Amino acid sequence: MPIIVDRNTVLLVQGITGREGSYHTEVMLKYGTRIEAGTSPGKGGMNVSGVPVYNTVKEAIDKHPNINTSIVFVPAPFACDAVYEAIDAGIKRIVVITEGIPLHDELKLISYAKLKGVIIVGPNCPGVISPGERVKVGIMPERSFKPGYIGIVSRSGTLTYEISEALSLAGFGQSTVVGIGGDPITGLDFIDVVEMFFNDVDTRGVVVVGEIGGDAEERLASYIKSVGLRKPIIAFIAGKTAPPGKRMGHAGAIISMGMGSAESKIKAFESVGIPVASTPMQIVELARLKFRWGV
């Protein structure tokens, strides 16, 4: 079984009538994701690509009790409210695509979700895809992914597609690919996802795509130090040329006070036996070296 999303995933789309929400509902359906309902306040009774729309999550869950996962496309000023609504209605897995959620709201939301035992992926993330089961809860392009045995976890979007496609073309398909999001505060972090991959029988090796800023990579390295490298991991870190103190797009990608530099992350990874590719394409060479179960 892959992680987070699989063939048992039954999805609710929050913000289904918006531009992004309606477009990706169609694309996810085509890919194979089972979407039973959508919500959009005031738009109850409509349908989007044949998916019924409700005013509230409660109503959607009452009518479709099998729903167990939600994806949120709701605009930033209202996104937190949408996630609280899903948590309140008892949904335990929520993927938040929305970009630009205020930091303080995010902080409270993530703390609350943790208290309630709810898994949040994101915010500001491309979502999760499990190619072997043809389930996608996200916005990533299908072409980058093939079924296989590699778990990929990343803080970025396009760079993940890029690396996944290179691996797919080289014969390294994926069990699950998780974009945890580029904001300073995220629900799932590298450690959570790597731990899930370690416990997943279908995943034989892990690729971590990190970037400068924060200390998620350094913390993953100390986690590996304590539990051991239970499966081979290879990595790429973006932002080696970033000068200290400059923000590089992602709210997350900032180096300050000597923390979070590419150098410190690469050193941390290498010290626990995780080799770091010097270019995105070099990931393929590392995969050939480290993932030797035969392709």
Partner 1 sequence: MKLYEFEGKKIFSDFKIPVPRGGLASSVEEACLKALEVGFPCVVKAQVLVGGRGKAGGIRVAKSIDDVKAAASKMFSEGVKGVPVRKVLVEEAVNIVKEYYVSITVDRSVKSYVYLASLEGGVDIEEIAATKPEAIIRVYVDPLIGLRDFHVRRIVDALGFKGDLAKQFDGIVRALYDIMIRYDADLVEINPLALTDKGLLALDSKLTIDDNSLYRHPEFSETLKSDTRDLSPEEVLARDYGFSYVKLDGDIGIIGNGAGLTMASLDLIAHFGGKPANFLDIGGGARAERVKAALKLLLMDERVKAVFINVYGGITRCDEVARGIVEALSEFEVKKPISVRLVGNREEEGGRILKEAGISYFTNDEDAAKHAVKIAYGGV
Footprint of partner 1 on this chain (CB under 8 A)? 76-77, 100-104, 107-108, 110-112, 114-115, 126, 139-141, 143-144, 154-162, 165, 182, 184-185, 209, 211-212, 214-216, 219, 236, 238-243, 245-253, 257-258, 278-281
**Least distance from C-beta 64 to partner 1, angstroms?**
28
* Helix (H/G/I), strand (E/B), else coil: 75: coil
* Sign of the CA dihedral running 30, 35, 22, 163: negative
3-state helix, strand, coil in the chain (%, to 5): 35, 25, 40
Taking every pair of Cα atoms in the chain, the longest distance, rounded to a whole number of angstroms, is: 56
Looking at the Cβ atoms of 86 and 238, the one nearer to partner 1 is 238
Looking at the Cβ atoms of 30 and 104, the one nearer to partner 1 is 104
Q: How far is CA 208 from the centre of its chain?
A: 12
Looking at the Cβ atoms of 65 and 249, the one nearer to partner 1 is 249
**Least distance from C-beta 229 to partner 1, angstroms?**
22
Cis peptide before 184 (omega within 30 of 0): no
Cis peptide before 2 (omega within 30 of 0): no
Q: Residues 24, 64, 104, 250: which is the catalytic one? A: 250
Active site residue 64: no
**Least distance from C-beta 73 to partner 1, angstroms?**
13
Kindly state the DSSP code that residue 41 receives in the 8-state scheme: T
**Least distance from C-beta 10 to partner 1, angstroms?**
25
Element (H, E) at 149: strand 147-154
> How would you class 4 by CB atoms within 10 Å of its CB: exposed for 0-12, middle for 13-18, buried for 19 or more?
buried
Looking at the Cβ atoms of 55 and 282, the one nearer to partner 1 is 282
Residues annotated catalytic, as ranges: 250
